[in-house]
Amino acid sequence: MANSRVDWRGLWASGDLARFCFISLGILLHATNETMVATVMPAMVGELAGVQLVGWSLAIYELGAIVAGAAAGRLVSYVALRSNMMVAALLYAAGALICATAPSMPLFLAGRLVEG
C-alpha cells in the first residue's frame, strides 16, 4: 500500500497549496463576518430601529451562504474557479457596502443576504 499522506511540500508541488490557502481564507472571512456582526448588533439595533429583526441577521446571512455555496459548487463545473471566486468577492463587497450604508434594518438584512 502506498503512502497516501500529503504534506505541505506535496501540496506546494501539486499546485494545490494556493487553492487550500484561498479556501481557508474564505472560511476565515465567513466566520469573522458572523462574529463581528454579532458583536456590534446591540449597538446597531438602536440606530436602525429593528429590534424585532435581530434574529434574522444571522439566519439570512447563513441562508445566503448555503445557497451561494451550493450554487458555486455547481457553477465551478461550467465557469472557471477564478471567475467564480471573483464574482463571489464582488457580491460580498456589494453586500458589505449595503450593510454599511443601510438606513434601516430591512435594507441591512438585504445586504446580509447578498453577503452570504
Q: Is residue 20 part of a domain?
A: yes
- Is 1 a domain residue? no
Cα angle 90, 65, 97; round to 5: 40
Q: How far apart are CA 45 and CA 116, in angstroms?
A: 20
Instruction: Please indicate, yes or no, if residue 2 is contained in any of the structural domains.
Output: no
Average pLDDT over residues 27-36: 85
Q: Please state the domain count of the chain.
A: 1
- The interaxial angle of helices 17-48 and 54-75, nearest 10 deg, is 150
Residue 41 CA to residue 76 CA, distance in Å, equals: 34
Is there a domain that residue 95 lies in?
Answer: yes
Q: What is the pLDDT of residue 60?
A: 92
Q: Global pTM? A: 0.76
Give tens-digit pLDDT for 51-109. Answer: 888 888 889 999 998 998 888 888 888 888 788 888 888 999 999 999 989 998 899 99
* Surface-to-core class of residue 11, CB atoms within 10 Å of its CB (0-12 exposed, 13-18 middle, 19+ buried): middle
pLDDT, tens only, 6-30 = 677 777 777 777 778 878 888 888 8
Range of the domain at 99: 8-115
- Residue 3 belongs to some domain of the structure: no
Q: How far apart are CA 100 and CA 106, in angstroms?
A: 13
pLDDT at 3: 63
DSSP single-letter state for residue 7 = -
Radius of gyration of the chain measured on its C-alpha atoms: 18
Residue 12, in any domain of the structure: yes
Question: Is 108 part of a structural domain of the chain?
Answer: yes
